Amino acid sequence: MVDETESCDSHTPGNRARLFLRELPAWSVAAGAPARHDGAMPEGDTVWNTARLLHRALAGTRLSGAELRVPALATTDLTGWQVIESVSRGKHLLLRLGAPGDDERHTLHSHLRMDGAWRTYAPGQRWTGGPGHEIRAVLRAPRAVAVGYHLHELALVPTGDEERIVGRLGPDPLGDDWDVDEVTRRLLAEPETAVGEALLDQTKLAGVGNLYRCEALFLRGLSPWTPVGEVPEPALLAALAGRLLVANRGRWTQSSTGSLRRGETTYVHGRRGRPCRRCGTPIRVAEQGERITYWCPACQPAR
């Protein structure tokens, strides 16, 4: 399935954007903020933000009500369960819970994919995240209600079994296990794979989605179809992809250019036919695997 939104862009030809990542302000996501910025893809940073949003709203409280609107969990009642913590792992959300009278912890797993979102509201506040039929989960706590829209892979598993879900993921730039050398090793293990596809392979590096894939390749001057084995200094590419995620956590607007102004946040992603910010060549778009990739044919020549 190819499903990418294009953002509107007010860029004027000849404007040379700066090729650096700006230092970011400290964590600034407020409760109630949308879990998905207009036009933004749920990549690792968005999922990380969402995990913190849920943690702030729910952690340390006991659920006073819960509805899980998927067939497999229709009869599961989490009322009275303690919310221990909310964490992310790549693009996976893990909400860890304790059942009354049960020492074993459980994890409510969810994945946002392209269209999912969690939002939090004050008790009594109107829910504005979408129509009711898109709601998959409602978790009520004393100080907030968390509502999950279009959630995927919603499942309740023993916390000890989380590895069955996330164990195959590669190092996460937003996790404790971030390891550029390990990512590089995993990338080079399949040297024939096109680098544009390899960067989206969550078993090599967890959290990178289409936006950061496209932007990292532009910033390194690499055609998305370059075989991984022919990428000069692949560790620099892995490190850059990780830095893009780290730089964007804590806010909902995703930027690789340093600008947060609408239409100025990316070099190539969402800019089909627009002039490259470095050389003016029209940005191209093509299918690669199940996604579409954006690139500048002049700045990212085929090798």
Residues recognised as catalytic: 42-43, 91, 291
Region near Zn ion per CB under 5 A, out of 102-110, 159-167, 183-191, 293-301: 293-301
Q: Say if residues 141 and 83 touch (Cβ distance below 8 Å).
A: yes
Structure tokens at 114: 């392209």
If one asks whether residue 296 binds Zn ion (CB under 5 A), the answer comes out as yes
User: What is the nearest approach in angstroms of Zn ion to the Cβ of residue 215?
Assistant: 13
Give the type of residue at 147. Answer: V
Rule CB under 5 A: say whether 279 interacts with Zn ion.
yes
- Which of the ranges 40-48, 221-229, 257-265, 275-283 carries the binding residues for Zn ion, by CB under 5 A? 275-283
The single-letter DSSP state of residue 148 is E
Q: How far is the CB of 243 from Zn ion (least distance, A)?
A: 21
Count the residues of the shown chain that bind Zn ion, applying the rule CB under 5 A.
7
- Tell me which H or E stretch contains 243: helix 234-248
DSSP state of 127: P
Residue 299 binds Zn ion (CB under 5 A): yes
- In angstroms, the CA 180 to CA 242 distance is 8
Q: Binding segment for Zn ion among 100-108, 186-194, 258-266, 288-296 (CB under 5 A)?
A: 288-296
295's torsion region: left (phi>0), alpha (psi -120 to 50) or beta?
beta
Distance CA 185, CA 42 (A): 26
- C-beta of 98: minimal distance to Zn ion in Å? 53
Q: Is 298 near Zn ion (CB under 5 A)? A: yes
C-alpha span between 112 and 29 (Å, rounded): 18
86/257 with CB nearer Zn ion? 257
Q: Which of 87, 112, 208, 276 binds Zn ion (CB under 5 A)?
A: 276
What letters, b where the CB count within 10 A reaches 16 and e where it falls short, cover 260-274?
eeeebbbbbbbbbeb
Rounded Cα distance, 289 and 1, in Å: 9
Compute the least distance from the CB of residue 290 to Zn ion, in Å. Answer: 26
- Nearer to Zn ion by Cβ, of 250 and 297: the residue is 297
Residue 298 CB, shortest distance to Zn ion, in Å, is 4
State the residues that interact with Zn ion by CB under 5 A: 276, 278-279, 281, 296, 298-299
